[in-house]
Amino acid sequence: MKIRGTRAASVSRQGLCAALLVASLTTAAVGATPHNAADGDPSPGNDSPQSRPHGTPNLTLPDLRPKPGATGKPGESALPSGGENSGIPATALAAYKNAEAIAKEKYPSCHIPWQLVAGIGKVESQHAAMGGRLNADGTTERPILGPRLTGGEFAKITDTDGGRWDGDKLYDRAVGPTQFIPSTWTDFGADGNNDGVQDPNNIFDAAAATARYLCSGNKDMTRAADLDKAVLSYNNSREYVNAVLAWMRKYSDGQVGVMPDGPGLPPSPSGTQPAPSSPSSPVPARHPRRRFHHAPQAGRQHR
């Protein structure tokens, strides 16, 4: 004799299944980790074009000697390194803090501090001072271009952007405040000021792209090995890593002053030499700037 279940028992079983499904989904949600947008970016290795010699970075280390009478407590200022050399122009500082804010939203597991991006900016272009005056919209009065990468002292990298960013149709040159190789910019460029344009010559875009590049491959900047790997992928030189991390730690200790946006540095043959006229196209015109992804004005307040 076949026994049929009662309707009450059927309803009870359906309710139990529903309860188990809800519990399963809740457990999955609690255990989920935040999505890191940089996970989709391939992790550049130490042999990537960006890591190869592409200019002459400033490897001068900050003076970390304690101030006379200091107790050594965190946050106490050290002796200034070359006077204003330890300061950051207001617009550059705003761009670095804006890059950190974007990274917190897009790459939450990276934990990149603005001070690391500032260390790159300091070593690569003196916080964009190599481009002359840094304007409040993030542009410099002239492009910051590294030497032509024709081999020899520097890497040999033939043209990858048709001269769009570096004005050279034969060889690549590092571009902008954080000195991106054009092909690297194609892969990792960012729109830091939310104006619809990814421009390596703008410090808000360059800083945001630097954070994206360093965070790629699911790296976590709180891990010493990931931090080391990230900076080496930017320039495969131990001296470069030492300089960038020294400036990062100096800024992290509160040893930074906010400077007004000044006239910058005069043109340098190694940093802003013009592209040869015959095989090259003009450096692209500046795009008008509108608004920021995150409000960078807060980073420009004097402390």
The 8-class DSSP code of residue 3 comes to: P
In the structure encoding, which two tokens stand for residue 121, read together? Answer: 């900016």
Radius of gyration of the chain (CA): 24
Residues 217-228 have pLDDT tens digits of 999 999 999 999
pLDDT of residue 103: 97
Segments in the chain forming alpha helices (H)? 7-31, 90-106, 114-125, 182-188, 203-215, 224-234, 238-252
Return the SS3 of 167: coil
- Answer yes or no: are the C-beta atoms of 268 and 130 closer than 8 Å: yes
Residue 35 CA to residue 155 CA, distance in Å, equals: 36
Q: Where are the domains of the chain?
A: 36-300
How long is the chain?
Answer: 303
pLDDT band at 266 (very low <50, low <70, confident <90, very high): confident
Per residue in 49-90, pLDDT tens? Answer: 676 666 667 778 887 665 554 444 433 433 334 334 678 999
pLDDT, residue 112, reads 98
| Residue the block writes with tokens 């042999």 | 47
Confidence band of 36 (pLDDT split at 50, 70, 90)? low
Q: Which residue is it, tokens 């409000």?
A: 295
Judge contact between 57 and 154, C-beta under 8 A. Answer: no
First to last CA, the chain: 87
Judging by beta carbons within 10 Å of its beta carbon (0-12, 13-18, 19+), is residue 190 exposed, middle or buried?
A: buried
pLDDT recorded at residue 65: 61
Of these ranges, 35-39, 70-74, 183-187, the one predicted with the greatest mean pLDDT is 183-187
As a whole number of angstroms, the distance between CA 142 and CA 176 comes to: 10
How many C-beta atoms surround the C-beta of residue 39 within 10 A? 15
- Read off the tokens for 42: 């391939």
Q: Are 170 and 275 in contact (CB under 8 A)?
A: no
3-state SS, residue 248: helix
